[in-house]
Amino acid sequence: MPALNSLRVYLRNKMDMDRKGGSLFARDDSTLILADTSVLSSAQLKLIESTFPHVSYSVMACETSLSGFIVVFTCEIECDRQWQRSLLRLLLHALCFACVMHGALP
């Protein structure tokens, strides 16, 4: 979620949304939707890509958006779950090793 909050602040500032309009809302913990913005240039998208390499985006037609399109930004960081799985595997290996050394397993 911190990455999404950083992206939200970045988009608000770089696109001058307070003055030019547009709306941003979070769909879930890893998705941010930009709507009602009149222009989003390829230069702006490239800047977003370089600043937030872990974020991907999709531009989609949307009749409810004032601009006729929305941009869906998705954070691809795995929410730091990989270290938890690695730690669990390490603990299971240590438990198996301890059982074998004490003769609990055949």
pLDDT at residue 79 tops 70: no
- pLDDT digits 0-9 by tens, 33-64: 999 887 788 888 898 888 888 888 899 898 88
The DSSP-derived string for the chain is -HHHHHHHHHHHHHTTHHHH--EEEEEETTEEEEES-S---HHHHHHHHHH-TTEEEEEEE-TTSTTSEEEEEEE---TT-HHHHHHHHHHHHHHHHHHHHTT---
Tell me, yes or no, if the pTM score tops 0.85: no
Model confidence band, residue 80 (pLDDT cutoffs 50, 70, 90):
low
Q: What is the pLDDT of residue 33?
A: 92
Q: What is the pLDDT of residue 98?
A: 80
Model confidence band, residue 6 (pLDDT cutoffs 50, 70, 90):
confident
